[in-house]
Amino acid sequence: MIKVFYQWGLEEDFRKISMVGQHMALTRCKVALSGGWGEGFEVGGVGEFVQMHFADFRKLLYESALKFGAKIRTKVMVESLSPEAAKPCVTLASGEKLYADVLIGADGLCSISRATMLGDADRMTRKKLVLFNALIAREPMMADPDLRSMLTDNQYSKFILWFGGGRGASGFATRSNEYCLQVFARDNDYPFPVSTVDKQELIGALGPCELRLRKLAEMAHNVIAVPIIDQPHLEDWLHKDGRFLVIGEAAHPLTTGSTYTAGLAAGDGMMLGRLFSHLHEPEQITPFLTAVEEQRQQRIARALEIQNTNPVAMSMPAGVEDNKQSLAVAEQIERMSESEYNELADEALRAVFAYDPEEEADDWWMQWGILQERSVKIVPVTFETITVVEENEQV
Ligand SMILES: Cc1cc2nc3c(=O)[nH]c(=O)nc-3n(C[C@H](O)[C@H](O)[C@H](O)COP(=O)(O)OP(=O)(O)OC[C@H]3O[C@@H](n4cnc5c(N)ncnc54)[C@H](O)[C@@H]3O)c2cc1C
């Protein structure tokens, strides 16, 4: 999906803030599995698997949106929204009302969009799991003989997944001078949604573990704890009045720390934007929003299936969740041959990352959009009175 950002002319900007994931390894939390790094992977010819700091990504999106002409109002809170088709509008905390032809709710997990669509039916369940997000500087890692091989000297980086024993972790470079460790462990009633914690909390949650994991935890600075919650997906993304669509995490919250969520949220926006490039009359709005809902719901369902069943899915490490499916997937890893591993990695990458939401919008437009447009344009043809001039008439 990164290819779309590159097509928009942002490749150089992305290169400055990101690393390209190229090698992957799976290992146990307790004892390192023997074996080296998997073959370099490519995302099916449609781009790269890029790793970056979320704050850098947000900043780049913000600056690019301004460059492309978007008007952004910062430091304003939306207090309520009215999706009525005739005059959709949002009311700001200041009391100001903003009217629009269409409202897009991309306001995340605990949002007014979800409240509007679900009302009391929205529920948040804590999963007794916590995600620790820790940052580690490159220099001490380079100085350590056990950790040095996890880094590279170029823009291509390595992704490592630890699993087993009710814990799991992933490690990857986000910048050339910074490494990120995400650890899933049992929750200790950390405050929701996020808190900064001492690295001793992380070390304690890991317990006895593989040497590299322990060393990374000891070197960590800036550790945050995010309790993992479960929230229902919206069955309907489009409001019944037809002029309000919810996208991104507000519509389909995934497990905290999943490597898929930001990409899937971006994909919703990309498809929406591409369809709206064909807009020339208001009657097209609702069919476009319906198309985004239908197409993207299929895509999200496929990603979830992969996330829950594929052991190399690069989402939450297998065996972390205390349920049969997660434990069975962890066991499967132990028995996997190299070719099976490569096949599963390929399947996961293709389903989750190797597609182009703009192309999907174009396909929909060619298959349905043009057709719908023609069908509404078939209106009775009326002829104005034509003055017939006799051939032999002298004018
Ligand atoms: C610790 C952590 C690690 C993560 N790691 C990864 C990762 O490795 N890979 C990945 O893909 N994803 C990751 N994610 C998830 C990722 O951050 C989200 O999936 C993604 O940001 C969702 O995008 P979104 O646009 O739907 O919502 P958000 O990014 O949540 O954006 C919602 C926006 O709406 C604004 N907003 C909300 N309510 C209002 C209101 N009333 N008025 C005005 N503005 C409002 C918010 O301020 C925010 O700017 C991680 C998340 C966390 C917490």
| Pick from 190-199, 259-268, 290-299, 366-375: least confident | 366-375
Residue-wise burial string across 354-393, b where 16 or more C-beta atoms lie within 10 A, e elsewhere:
bbbbbebbbebbeeebeeebeeeeeeeeeeeeeeeeeeee
Average pLDDT of the segment spanning 117-122 = 88
Please state, in angstroms and rounded to a whole number, the distance separating the CA atoms of residues 162 and 364.
Answer: 40
Residue 269 CA, closest ligand 1 atom number: 25
Please state, in angstroms and rounded to a whole number, the distance separating the CA atoms of residues 209 and 257.
Answer: 21
- pLDDT tens by residue, 67-112: 999 999 999 999 999 999 889 999 999 999 999 999 999 999 989 9
Closest CA to 83 of 201, 274, 194, 239: 239
**H runs (alpha helix) in the chain:** 2-5, 11-17, 54-67, 112-118, 138-142, 199-206, 211-219, 261-276, 285-309, 324-335, 338-352, 357-364, 370-377
- Please, which pLDDT band fits residue 339 given cuts at 50, 70 and 90? confident
Atom 45 in ligand 1: residue holding the nearest Cα: 107
Assign a CATH topology to domain 20-50+125-230+254-367.
D-Amino Acid Oxidase; Chain A, domain 2 (3.30.9)
pLDDT at 265: 95
Residue 54 CA, closest ligand 1 atom number: 17
- pLDDT tens by residue, 8-17: 999 999 999 9
Containing H/E element for 227?
strand 221-230
Residue 109 CA, closest ligand 1 atom number: 30
Closest CA to 314 of 356, 233, 254: 254
Kindly give the distance from the C-alpha atom of residue 248 to the centroid of ligand 1, in angstroms, as a whole number: 9
Residue 131 CA, closest ligand 1 atom number: 1
CB-ligand 1 contact for 330 (6 Å cutoff)? no
For residue 7, pLDDT beyond 70: yes
Q: 164 versus 133: which is more confidently predicted?
A: 133
List Cβ neighbours of 146 (8 Å cut-off, separation of 6 or more). 211, 212, 215
- Please, which pLDDT band fits residue 370 given cuts at 50, 70 and 90? confident
CB-ligand 1 contact for 166 (6 Å cutoff)? no
Please state, in angstroms and rounded to a whole number, the distance separating the CA atoms of residues 61 and 58.
Answer: 5
pLDDT at 284: 92
- Please, which pLDDT band fits residue 274 given cuts at 50, 70 and 90? very high
Q: What is the mean pLDDT of the chain?
A: 86
List Cβ neighbours of 133 (8 Å cut-off, separation of 6 or more). 180, 181, 182, 223, 224, 226, 257
- pLDDT tens by residue, 199-229: 999 999 999 999 999 999 999 999 999 999 9
Kindly give the distance from the C-alpha atom of residue 135 to the centroid of ligand 1, in angstroms, as a whole number: 19
Kindly give the distance from the C-alpha atom of residue 54 to the centroid of ligand 1, in angstroms, as a whole number: 9
- pLDDT tens by residue, 15-64: 999 999 887 777 777 766 665 555 566 665 656 888 999 999 999 999 99
pTM score? 0.88
List Cβ neighbours of 43 (8 Å cut-off, separation of 6 or more). 49, 349, 350, 353, 354
Phi, psi (degrees; rounded to nearest 5) at 134: -125, 145
- pLDDT tens by residue, 343-355: 777 777 777 777 8
For residues 218 and 203, is the Cβ–Cβ distance under 8 A? yes
CB-ligand 1 contact for 54 (6 Å cutoff)? yes
Kindly give the distance from the C-alpha atom of residue 185 to the centroid of ligand 1, in angstroms, as a whole number: 22
Residue 262 CA, closest ligand 1 atom number: 11
Residue 180 CA, closest ligand 1 atom number: 8
Closest CA to 292 of 248, 254, 326: 248
Going from the C-alpha of 130 to that of each of 4, 71, 127, 165, 192, the distances in angstroms are 33, 37, 8, 15, 10
- Please, which pLDDT band fits residue 392 given cuts at 50, 70 and 90? low
- pLDDT tens by residue, 141-176: 999 999 999 999 998 888 888 887 778 899 999 988
Query: Angle CA(305)–CA(309)–CA(312) in degrees, nearest 5?
Result: 110
Substitution candidate for ligand 1 out of 54, 76, 79, 179 with most atoms within 8 A of CB: 54
CB-ligand 1 contact for 273 (6 Å cutoff)? no
End-to-end C-alpha distance for the chain, whole angstroms: 67
For residue 309, pLDDT beyond 90: no
Substitution candidate for ligand 1 out of 92, 107, 252 with most atoms within 8 A of CB: 107
For residue 234, pLDDT beyond 70: yes
pLDDT at 140: 97
CB-ligand 1 contact for 174 (6 Å cutoff)? no
Interstrand relation of 78-82 and 89-92 (parallel, antiparallel or unpaired): antiparallel
Kindly give the distance from the C-alpha atom of residue 42 to the centroid of ligand 1, in angstroms, as a whole number: 27
